[in-house]
Amino acid sequence: HQKHTQTLAIGNVPEELDQMQTDFQHYKAFLSQKWTAPLNHNALIPKDKPYLTAANFSVPSALFWQLQGFDERLTDAEDFDLAMRASEAHLSIYFLSKAVAWHEDLVTCKSYIRRLRQYRKAHQALKTIKPQLYAQFNHVEPSAVQGWKKHVYLFFAQSFWIKLTDGEKLLFLPKKIRYRFYDLLTTALGVYFVDKEI
């Protein structure tokens, strides 16, 4: 920030693999690596797809208050809101891969789905509060699911799949298939069928 005062920076927030205890926790750690893999060290976050994680970011205090800080009306999406406002103000956000904050989060499939639902609810609130701003950066808005895809997700939107996952009953499947299964399950119940009881 001494060289680039009008910038924000975010760091890496990986899980410690040797702390992971279940197959689903290893899957979640894999997801974190997958999300940040395309970003090289000191990579510039695309302005049309702003991203910021409150768990590990840096911004000069003057710039933070220039952006009016976090919106206290929001809960889970306040960091994304700040990222949108920074992009709208033509400020750069950089990803610093070597700025690491280890994330100790021993999730279960059930708790992860609950988090996805909270995240979706928070984004709906953000969309309601700031519809014009949100419309500019709607890359996080899930696309509507229809036809045969809807039936596939509906098949996976069952609570017994969560019990099988958290009970480690699917370990007989190859890792690639298990991880694809977890993708479908968490997307089905965490994004598309959020009113289904889990």
The predicted model scores a pTM of 0.87
Instruction: Tell me whether residue 22 is in a domain.
Output: yes
Tokens representing 7 are 């910038």
Provide the pLDDT for residue 1.
55
Residue 42's domain comprises: 7-192
Listed residue (71, 101, 104, 102) closest to 86, CA to CA: 71
pLDDT of the residue at 40: 67
pLDDT for 107 equals: 92
Is 197 within a domain? no
- Listed in sequence order, the residues at least 6 apart from 44 whose beta carbon sits closer than 8 Å to its beta carbon are 92, 93, 94, 95
Per-residue pLDDT reduced to its tens digit, 93-142 = 988 888 877 767 789 999 999 999 999 999 999 999 999 999 998 777 78
Could you list the pLDDT tens digit for every one of the 198 residues in the chain? 566 668 998 988 777 777 889 999 999 989 888 887 777 666 888 888 898 888 889 999 999 999 999 999 987 899 999 999 999 999 999 888 888 777 677 899 999 999 999 999 999 999 999 999 999 987 777 888 889 999 999 999 999 999 999 999 999 999 999 999 999 999 999 999 999 999
- What does the block give as tokens for 1? 């920030």
- Is 88 within the bounds of a domain? yes
At position 7, the amino acid (one-letter code) is T
Number of domains within the chain: 1
b/e map of 139-175 (b: 16 or more CB within 10 Å)? eeeeeebeeeeeeebeebbbeebbeebbeeebeeeee
Cα–Cα distance between 20 and 23 in angstroms, integer?
8
**Residue 193 DSSP label:** -
Structure tokens belonging to residue 144: 């509507």
In this predicted structure, what is the pLDDT of residue 41? 67
3-class DSSP assignment, residue 97 = strand
Domain presence at residue 127: yes
Q: 2 in a domain, yes or no?
A: no
Here the tokens at position 109 are 């499939």
Instruction: Please report whether residue 1 resides in a domain.
Output: no
